[in-house]
Structure 1
Amino acid sequence: MKTVVIATNNAHKVSEIRSALNFEGWEFKTLAEAGLVSAPVEDADSFEGNARIKARAAAEAVRAAGLTAAVLADDSGLAVDALDGAPGVYSSRYAGADGDDGANNAKLLAELAAVPDGERTARFVCTLVFMDEDGTETVARGTIEGAIGREARGSEGFGYDPLFIPDAFGGALTLAEVPQARKNAVSHRGNALRALRDSLASDR
């Protein structure tokens, strides 16, 4: 049995990761399920940099606990062209350290209030860093292109999902207006996970 510690306690991410990386003999545990605590300062200026910080911190926590496990970390966010790529690595705290999804979405809508519909293009980006038991690192990246709507729609997603209208849905639906399975088929994290799975499978 191969154990992979996922450097998050976010249930949405964990479910998607377990579904995508369903290699036989692999089991996935969140930090909490593994009895670990890891909360490094994510101060890199890129998604990959922050994912690597989290992966290395989780790997250190695994070693300190005397466990043998691989680790997987991700960093993701929204990049809006009209805002020069913001909120980017600050996506989860766009409205401030104490901001929540509602506050972040409200700030984004305010920042884009004067931007015409044709110039509201954006993309979600996800970078994954997988670190095997021996420290071997595999990096994968996924994106999804789309645009930012003018109001929140849907209740299925989280974060900026109610505002993000992916090109993959013909510009008709937000990511929060579709079931999770349909979202996973086109999402940035889903695309990154499929790329990671392909890389790991080729090494097996």
Structure 2
Amino acid sequence: MSGAQTVPSPLVVLATHNQGKLRELRELLRGQVPGLDVDTQVVDAATAGAADVLEDGITFAQNALKKARAVAEQTGLVAVADDSGLSVDILGGAPGIFSARWSGRHGDDEANLQLLLAQLADIGPTHRGAAFICAAALAVPGGGDHVELGELRGTLLTEPHGDGGFGYDPILQPDGLQESCAQISAEHKNRISHRGQAFRALLPHLVDALDQGQSAPSAH
């Protein structure tokens, strides 16, 4: 049909179904790679036809890299993945990779948060140090992997504060701030967050992979 527009082939797939994460990656990449249409060529796992990947690693980095490698192999595209959670000093780094299912039910944010607060009920403020940690991974079809880490340190509050964010955001007060992660603006959080740090560190390696043309065979 004459005049029909051709949709560019995807070049990058983010191993997630979370549209918020996809928007963040698109904004990080916007204007970084000449000719890259981030709104059509940077897609999520479902759009790329990638199956879910079992996260059975013992570190954030292992889980992120496993997801990125699996999605790159499934799709033939440059793949990006992340894994993140809360690391509490006095609990030896727990909940860690089990952050999303600390209470036994995956994704039950309120139950996870309340269980953690109960476990730390007798712990004073000087021993409530914790950090959000994120590992962001890049995998290129045919070989070429990279992982970057981001960390947002703070102190765990004794009760939730704020309605923004998700997960443990209402009880982590970042160092240097008087508000929890659930009380600061989304823009502020993105500037200081563990995910923002990890993805910004990964960005040059992702740009290099795209510049070198290491993408799907169908890409032009």
Which structure's CA Rg is the greater one?
2
Q: Structure 2 CA distance, aligned partners of 1:107 and 1:154?
A: 18
Secondary structure of the residue aligned to 2:182 is helix
Do residues 58 (structure 1) and 71 (structure 2) align?
A: yes
Secondary structure of the residue aligned to 1:124 is strand
The residue number in structure 2 matching 1:88 is 96
Q: Structure 2 CA distance, aligned partners of 1:121 and 1:162?
A: 15
Q: Structure 2 CA distance, aligned partners of 1:93 and 1:107?
A: 11
The residue number in structure 2 matching 1:153 is 161
2:87·2:94 contact (CA, 8 Å) conserved in 1? yes
Superposed, 1:1-204 pairs within 5 Å as 3-22=11-30, 23-24=32-33, 25=36, 26=38, 27-34=41-48, 36-62=49-75, 68-98=76-106, 100-167=108-175, 170-201=176-207, 204=211
Q: Structure 1 CA distance, aligned partners of 2:151 and 2:205?
A: 17
Q: What's the % identity of the aligned pairs?
A: 40
AA aligned to 2:137 is: V
Segments of 4+ moved more than 3 angstroms: 198-204
1:20·1:190 contact (CA, 8 Å) conserved in 2? no
Distance 1:97 1:135, change over 3 A: farther
AA aligned to 1:193 is: F
Question: TM-score of the superposition, structure 2-length normalised?
Answer: 0.83
Q: Structure 2 CA distance, aligned partners of 1:52 and 1:99?
A: 21
* Aligned Cα root-mean-square deviation (Å): 1.8
Secondary structure of the residue aligned to 2:65 is helix
Question: TM-score of the superposition, structure 1-length normalised?
Answer: 0.89
Moved more, 119-128 or 53-62: 53-62
Count of aligned residue pairs for this structure pair: 196
Moved more, 48-57 or 129-138: 129-138
AA aligned to 2:94 is: A
Secondary structure of the residue aligned to 1:157 is coil
The answer for unaligned runs of 5 or more in structure 2 is 1-7, 212-220
AA aligned to 2:72 is: A
1:21·1:193 contact (CA, 8 Å) conserved in 2? no
Flag the structure with more relative contact order, 1 or 2, with Cα contacts below 8 A and sequence separation at least 6: 2
Secondary structure of the residue aligned to 2:179 is coil
